[in-house]
Amino acid sequence: MTALYPHIVYGPVRSRRLGLSLGVNLLPLEAKLCTFDCIYCECGWNGDNTGSHRFNDREEVAAALESALVAMAAEGQLPDVITFAGNGEPTMHPEFEGVIEDTIALRDRYAPSAKISVLSNATQLHRADVIRALERVDNNILKIDSLDEDVARLINKPCCNYSVANVVEQLKLFKGKVIVQTMFLRGEYEGKRVDNTTEEQIVAWLDALRAIAPQSVMVYSIARDTPCKTLQKVEREELEQISARVESLGITCSVA
């Protein structure tokens, strides 16, 4: 079963890659809200839940984060990272820049060594406020799953005008202050073969990485239940091989 995050602040969870991570969900608590509807989304399909589509208020987010940080400080266990993810696309929040400003202030006050990470699908980069906010976070993690527009549309099912070529140009503008995240998978969706691990796909993706010159790359595959049931996980060994090809470009790459 796919699952939603029922709280604004969740965790902390310990991960090998991030350390102790405190999650922040700006999206509705009863429904997923995203500009993509990825066939692998752990939150399920956009249409699955018909709950309220209200973003969590900036003030509520700051209050929830502050009380979580105060509680963690009292236990002597501060987070290594504060991660914006949750039930959809965090940068859709109308006050995303203000939320990041509050988060930086709270981080500086209660957990000065914690990093701030944002996991985003890069569909809001037409907004100057979103770009300004992403430039201020420590880990600006943006998704590109395929350089082929048709394959990207099949995997990510964008609900808006989406062009991977455009996203590559937008990512270049971060001048290296960006982390590219890619989900690798194979399978079938609506009778069509899905595979972003073919040699052609990988070569195009590596070319894009060369052009973007990100601070690092994160590759991963399916770890939990997915709304599309006909997908297969790409095994770690193969992800390691893909990662080695990224590293040969002089770009750090981690396998989740």
Q: Which residues bind ligand SF4 (CB under 6 A)?
A: 34, 36-38, 41, 43, 88-89, 121
Closest contact distance (angstroms) between CB of 86 and ligand SF4 is: 8
Closest contact distance (angstroms) between CB of 142 and ligand SF4 is: 10
**Alpha carbons 223 and 23: distance in angstroms, whole number:** 18
- Strand 9-15 vs strand 252-255: parallel, antiparallel, or unpaired? unpaired
- Which of 196, 114, 111, 204 shows the shortest CA–CA distance to 156? 196
Q: Are 246 and 206 in contact (CB under 8 A)?
A: yes
In this structure, the dihedral spanned by the alpha carbons of residues 83, 81, 240 and 244, taken in order and rounded to 10 degrees, is 110
Residue closer to ligand SF4, measured from CB, 37 or 195: 37
- Give the 3-state secondary structure of residue 201: helix
Residue closer to ligand SF4, measured from CB, 89 or 97: 89
Closest contact distance (angstroms) between CB of 31 and ligand SF4 is: 12
Closest contact distance (angstroms) between CB of 178 and ligand SF4 is: 16
Residue closer to ligand SF4, measured from CB, 79 or 86: 86
Residue closer to ligand SF4, measured from CB, 121 or 140: 121
